[in-house]
Amino acid sequence: MLKGIAASAGVATAKAYKLEQPVVVINKTTDVDAAKEIEKLDAAFEKTIKDIEGVKERAAKRLSEEELAVFDAHLMMANDPELIGQMRNMINTDGVNAEYAAAQVADMMVAMFESMDNDYFRERAADVKDVTFRLKCNLLGLEIPDLTAINEPSIIVAHDLTPSDTAQLNEYVKGFVTAIGGKTSHSAIMANSLEIPAVVGTTGILEAVNTGDVIGMDALDGEVFVNPDAETVERLAVKEKEYKEEKQALKVLINAKSVTVDGHEVELAGNIGNAKDAEQVIANGGEGVGLFRTEFLYMDNDHFPTEEEQFAVYKQVLETMKGKKVVVRTLDIGGDKKLSYFEFPEEMNPFLGYRAIRLCLDRKDIFKTQLRALCRASVYGKLCIMFPMIATVNEFKDAKAVFEECKAELIAEGTPVSDDIQIGMMVEIPAAAVLADEFSKYADFFSIGTNDLIQYSMAADRMSQKVSYLYQPYNPAILRLVNMTIQGAHKNGKWVGMCGAMAGEPNAVPILLGLGLDEFSMSATQILKARKVVNGLSYEQMQEMAQKCLSLDTAQEVLDFVQSEVK
Ligand code: PEP
Ligand code: MG
């Protein structure tokens, strides 16, 4: 069994199809017959265009116009007279072979696009790579695996999948396992929209698997079994069946309210990392976005995203959510989240150091770019902004003052800004939880970040395997901090959400509901299950149960008690 990251939920067992791209080796030859080489080049271009058209045609059976756009971009590139022109020129003037000219021009173009300060052009670099890889293979007579030709149930095993690879997956592909990648990599996002299971970041998978082996993949727990025994196959089959049945049964709740049997209503929202995720939140019946982790905009980049670039993304998310609430968290960088283009100071304890709001208040230039983009986007939906890692009331006041400054500047410039933006904060430092009744005089709302709140309360690094037993959401100490936060907010009539992983845990939902949590934000795929839980509970009973939980001694006692109370 190999462990990876569960990136798109599901369970499947099928034969492995190991995707192995040909290795391109380019040799330089001089004194060639230029006319012959140009003929070779033209033929290779022709075949490349035909190949892409073929792939597009087959992919069209499964994908939307929008998703097919990647192939149009590739066709445009392959038909671009500039590309072939430069290669022909090089053959003529330098007297080199077609493969060498193709590789040189491709490298130059990729380098040029990659150096541009603009997302659009950087994406074009990926297109050039994709198209010229095909071209070079055609020149060298190398076969590129055709994923659209897969005609028996298969699980694809690959180093990683490119956008054009994922666009080619047909109904026979039951899932894929990749060696690299994370939950937010392109292939993971695509797997979610195609609703096929994916396990990514599975170190060692390429060495362990050959085409034809049987793969059992559990993309709920991120486990991959190579040539599983009969017992495992049976266990996975049961799990797959249960997962599919549950998924189907939950669909009826997409448009249902999140309300208890005695009429207490809460809000179930989704956590997102990019604009595409917002569509998943809607597809899964989410009532809003409770956390937009904007740091991915910065981390998936080679420069600080500009105001314009950020504005486009925030606008898109707000429009996708069609007037439903969107809580955007300002830049939460530092700790384990680094940027390739920004040097953080060396610190003994980066998790306790220069990060998130601390950095933003120190680097107002970075902070203001984001807040201006948010203010400008605010007219396209219902925007809430929250600041991460707030420890003191003054930090919150200072951060809010920077927001007010940006808003005033924009209005003075004649740019419209919504007058209905809520300004809140994350509660993920115990000091903020303890003083919640004071913070709530100033903040419009709280969102409890239990991932960090637990790490700081237990003094247990959330990245450390050795102390992971201290991640105890059910520990009464944590429940009391959550309770204090909710009580503190309600005292001043403010609402409280939770966006840490605890909010989506089926056993935690009854306690949080009983403590009075107003909004639960989780990954999109957890929403319907949480709704089912909420719809089956009595608020009155959960209030009583939650109070009892606060008085227990250990996490295990809480969990046992909840499981005995909630059937
Ligand atoms: C949290 O700390 O609970 C949280 C939601 O933020 P992140 O996981 O991004 O630190
Ligand atoms: Mg956090």
Please name the residues in contact with 431: beta carbons below 8 A apart, sequence gap of 6 or more. Answer: 391, 392
As given in the structure block, the two tokens for residue 31 are 């004194």
Which residue among 183, 352, 387, 426 is best mutated to probe the pocket of ligand 1, counting the most ligand atoms within 8 A of its Cβ?
426
Task: Report which of 177, 250, 249 is spatially closest to residue 2, judged by C-alpha positions.
Answer: 177
Distance from the alpha carbon of residue 358 to the mean position of ligand 2, in angstroms:
13
Number of domains in the chain: 3
- Does residue 311 sit within a domain? yes
Cα three-residue angle 491-520-542, rounded to 5 degrees: 70
- Burial profile 122-148: b = 16 or more Cβ within 10 angstroms, e = fewer: bebbbbbbbbbbbbbbbbbeeeebebb
Q: Is the distance from the beta carbon of residue 452 to the nearest atom of ligand 1 less than 6 Å?
A: yes
228 and 102 in a single domain? The answer is no
Closest-lying ligand 1 atom to the alpha carbon of residue 452? 2
Structure tokens given for 357: 């709001």
Task: Count helices and strands (H / E) in the chain.
Answer: 23, 16
Distances (CA, A) of 136 to 39, 41, 43, 73, 248: 14, 9, 12, 18, 46
Structure pTM? 0.73
Full domain range(s) for residue 279: 264-565
Burial of 27 (0-12, 13-18, 19+ CB in 10 A): exposed
Determine contact, residues 178/202, Cβ cutoff 8 Å: yes
Q: Which residues surround ligand 2, an ion (CB under 5 A)?
A: 428, 449, 452
Distance CA 71, CA 57 (A): 10
Confirm whether 353 is domain-assigned. yes
Query: What is the whole-number distance in angstroms between the Cα of residue 461 and the centre of ligand 2?
Result: 12
Q: Provide the residue-wise pLDDT of the chain in tens; the chain has 567 residues.
A: 999 988 888 999 999 999 998 999 999 999 899 999 999 999 999 999 999 998 888 878 777 777 777 888 899 999 999 999 999 999 999 999 999 999 999 999 999 988 887 667 777 887 898 899 999 999 999 998 888 889 999 999 999 887 678 878 888 999 999 998 776 566 776 787 678 999 999 999 999 999 999 999 999 999 999 999 999 999 999 999 999 999 899 999 999 999 999 999 999 999 998 888 899 899 999 999 999 999 989 987 889 999 999 999 999 999 999 999 999 999 999 987 888 899 999 999 999 999 999 999 999 999 999 999 999 999 999 999 999 999 999 999 999 999 999 999 999 999 999 999 999 999 999 999 999 999 999 999 999 999 999 999 999 988 777 888 999 999 999 999 999 999 999 999 999 999 998 999 899 999 999 999 999 999 898 899 999 999 999 999 999 999 999 999 999 999 999 999 998
> Does residue 132 sit in the same domain as residue 207?
no
- Ligand 1 atom at minimum distance from 501 CA: 3
73 and 54, same domain (yes or no): yes
- Same structural domain, 324 and 287: yes
Q: Is residue 165 part of a domain?
A: yes
451 within ligand 1 shell (Cβ under 6 A): yes
Identify any residues that bridge with 337 across adjacent strands, giving them in sequence order: 334
- Give the distance (Å) from ligand 1 centre to CA of residue 428: 8
Cα-to-chain-centroid distance, residue 137: 33
Together in a domain, 284 and 188: no
Quote the tokens at residue 53.
Answer: 């058209």
Residues 204 and 318 in one domain: no
Is any ligand 1 atom within 6 A of the Cβ of residue 449?
yes
**Cβ contact 16:212 at 8 Å:** yes
Query: Are residue 219 and residue 306 in the same domain, yes or no?
Result: no
DSSP state of 212: T
Ligand nearest to the CA of 501: 1
Question: Are both 54 and 173 inside the same structural domain?
Answer: no
**What values do phi and psi take at 110, rounded to 5?**
-60, -45
Q: Are residues 516 and 545 in the same domain?
A: yes
Cα distances (Å, whole numbers) of residue 515 to 69, 477, 559: 48, 14, 15
Region of 175 (left: φ > 0; alpha: ψ -120 to 50; beta: rest) is left
> CA of 61: how far to CAs of 147, 163, 361, in Å?
14, 17, 50
- Tell whether ligand 1 has an atom less than 6 A from the beta carbon of residue 287: no
Among 197, 227, 160, 223, CA closest to 19: 160
Amino acid at 510: P
CA torsion 258→314→485→501, rounded to 10°? 70
Q: Decide if 2 is inside a domain.
A: no
- Tell whether 506 and 359 lie within a shared domain: yes
As a whole number of angstroms, the distance between CA 558 and CA 359 comes to: 38
In the numeric block, which tokens belong to residue 249?
A: 């049964």
Please tell me the residue having the least CA distance from ligand 1 atom 8. 451
The reported pLDDT for the residue numbered 189 is 66
- CA-nearest residue, atom 4 of ligand 1: 449
Which atom in ligand 1 lies closest to the alpha carbon of residue 295? 9
Residues annotated as part of the active site:
186, 499
CA distances, 234 to each of 13, 91, 329 (Å): 10, 60, 43
Extended beta strands in 428-536, E state = 445-448, 495-498, 519-522
- Cα-atom radius of gyration of the chain, to the nearest Å? 26
CATH, residue 478: 3.20.20.60
Q: How far is CA 204 from CA 159, 200, 207, 208, in A?
A: 10, 11, 5, 6
List the Cα angle 461/463/469 in 5-degree steps: 65
Rounded Cα distance between 201 and 296, Å, is: 18
The number of the ligand nearest the C-alpha atom of 336 reads 1
What angle (nearest 5°) sits at the alpha carbon of residue 256, between those of residues 277 and 241? Answer: 70
Q: What is the DSSP letter of 465?
A: S
Last residue of a domain, one of 250, 285, 305: 250
Choosing from 219, 250, 281, the residue where a domain stops is 250
Residue 16 lies in a domain: no
Nearest protein Cα to ligand 1, atom 1: 449
Residue 464 lies in a domain: yes
In whole angstroms, how far apart are CA 106 and each of 42, 122, 304? 15, 14, 27
**Ligand 1 proximity of 165 Cβ (cutoff 6 Å):** no
394 CB burial (10 A radius; 0-12, 13-18, 19+)? exposed
Q: Is 538 helix (H, G, I), strand (E, B) or coil?
A: coil
pLDDT at 287: 98
Tell me how far apart the alpha carbons of residues 403 and 408 are, in angstroms, rounded to a whole number.
Answer: 9
Q: Residue 439 and residue 432: Cα distance in Å, rounded? A: 7
Of the three residues 116, 140, 164, the one that is the final residue of a domain is 140
The per-residue pLDDT for 319 is 97
428 CA distance to ligand 2 middle (Å): 6
- State the pLDDT at residue 119: 65
Closest ligand relative to 451 C-alpha: 1
- 102: domain CATH number is 1.10.274.10
Task: Write the CA distances from 177 to 206, 343, 398, integer angstroms.
Answer: 9, 34, 46
Integer angstrom CA distances of residue 442 from 317, 375, 397, 424: 27, 19, 8, 8
What is residue 386's predicted lDDT score, i.e. its pLDDT?
98
By C-alpha distance, which of 6, 4, 179 is closest to 526? 6
Ligand 2 centroid–CA 426 distance in Å is 8
Nearest residue to 168 via CA among 54, 20, 23, 22 = 54
- The answer to whether residue 100 sits within a structural domain is yes
How far does the centroid of ligand 2 lie from the alpha carbon of residue 313, in Å?
21
Tell me whether residue 229 is in a domain. yes
Residue 261 carries which DSSP code?
A: T
CA-closest residue to ligand 1 atom 7: 451
Same-domain pairing of 210 and 274? no
370 with 490, same domain: the answer is yes
- Closest ligand 1 atom to residue 499 Cα is 5
Residue 424 tokens read as 């809140």
Ligand 2 centroid to residue 497 C-alpha, Å: 14
CATH of the domain at 185: 3.50.30.10
Instruction: Using alpha carbons, list the distances in angstroms from residue 567 to 247, 261, 392, 533.
Output: 20, 14, 41, 10
Helical H segments across 22-143, by residue range: 34-59, 65-78, 81-94, 98-114, 119-140
